[in-house]
Amino acid sequence: MSVIGEQIKKYRIEKGITQEQLGQMIGVTTQGVSRWERGGTPDAEILPRLSEILGVSIDTLFGREEQSLAMSLARRLSQMEEEEAYHYAFNICWAIELGLMGNNSVFEDFVNKFLDPTVLNEDKKLDYFAKNIHENGMANLRMSPDLNHFFLLLQPKGNLKDQLCDRESLRKVFAAFADDKLLRIILYVYSFPYMPIATSLISKNVGLSLQETDHCMQKLCEVNLVTCNVVATAEGNINSYNIRRESFAIPLLCFADEMAKKDWHPFLGEFNREKPFL
């Protein structure tokens, strides 16, 4: 059997289409389809229609998809407007989440439903989650009308704990989010544009004294959430702060929100991991 014959047979069966049905859709006989699957090659003008029906690219029909997928995806994203590119990339993440389940039976039900953004508008209050936790890693995805994110972790060599900072350094990071004053400041400064923010402005908007605000900001500098700059003014030197452009706080806030939810709906998941992460 030729490569293209193997691919036609593989994707025809995955689609649940018989040789006769595929032939009718394309306009060839059942014997013609059978001939392809036994080693023949379809005429070039048939290939676009064949790839459309089977839901794969022409490269895939010839077995070249794995080599060209990463480059073609990168090229396609780079040619899109930024907003469109991010939406398209999230759809790819959703496809990854489903693919890692290794269960073709879920594809049609969930892809057709949840890749359509109008579905999510049916209930503005609901958050949907997909979780895959396997021996070789984990993938978590959140999908809601206004907040979507994706996290993929490959299994580290050894265990995850060996790759992390020391416990005291981690404790300081979590302590920053656990402190009510610091959390108020984090939520304020991360709502601000990327420009220096004077201590007086932060103090005014979070309800703390100038001295207390400076003390809190130094704590946030210690855990790399903000950086401090000294500005010379006619009244003397003042401190101003910039949030880190890498936005370290945003992923942590998203996942903390997920953990804090009391009414979230994990609608899809597979958990078959036995060894610990830590």
Distance of CA 91 to the CA centre of its chain: 8
Unique residue bearing structure tokens 């990071």: 173
Has residue 243 got a pLDDT over 60?
A: yes
Has residue 258 got a pLDDT over 90?
A: no
Q: Which of 209, 215, 201, 207 is nearest to 184 (CA)?
A: 207
Is residue 5 left, alpha or beta, with left meaning phi > 0 and alpha meaning psi from -120 to 50? alpha
Has residue 269 got a pLDDT over 50?
A: yes
What pLDDT does residue 82 have? Answer: 94
Cα(271)–Cα(102) distance, integer angstroms: 12
What string of H, E and C letters represents the secondary structure of the chain?
A: CCHHHHHHHHHHHHHCCCHHHHHHHHCCCHHHHHHHHCCCCCCHHHHHHHHHHHCCCHHHHCCCHHHHHHHHHHHHHHCCCHHHHHHHHHHHHHHHHHHCCCCHHHHHHHHHHHCCHHHHCCCCCCCEEEEEEECCEEEEEEECCCCCEEEEEECCCCCHHHHCCCHHHHHHHHHHHHCHHHHHHHHHHCCCCCCCEEHHHHHHHHCCCHHHHHHHHHHHHHCCCEEEEEEEECCEEEEEEEECCCCCHHHHHHHHHHHHCCCCEEEEEEECCCCCCC
% of the chain surpassing 90 pLDDT: 37
Has residue 91 got a pLDDT over 60?
A: yes
- CA-to-CA dists, residue 277 to 84, 101, 134, angstroms: 35, 19, 10
Mean predicted lDDT score pLDDT of the chain = 85
Q: How deeply is 258 buried, as exposed, middle or buried, from its count of CB atoms within 10 A (0-12, 13-18, 19+)? A: middle
Query: Which residue type does 152 have?
Result: L
Predicted structure pTM score = 0.68
Q: Which of 255, 225, 263, 226 is nearest to 241 (CA)?
A: 226
Q: Which of 241, 233, 234 is nearest to 203 (CA)?
A: 241
Tell me: the pLDDT tens digits for 215-227? 999 999 999 999 9
7-32 mean pLDDT: 89
What pLDDT does residue 112 have? Answer: 57
71-99 mean pLDDT: 86
Tell me: the pLDDT tens digits for 223-240? 999 999 888 888 888 889
Tell me: the pLDDT tens digits for 111-135? 555 555 554 455 555 778 888 999 9
Has residue 77 got a pLDDT over 70?
A: yes
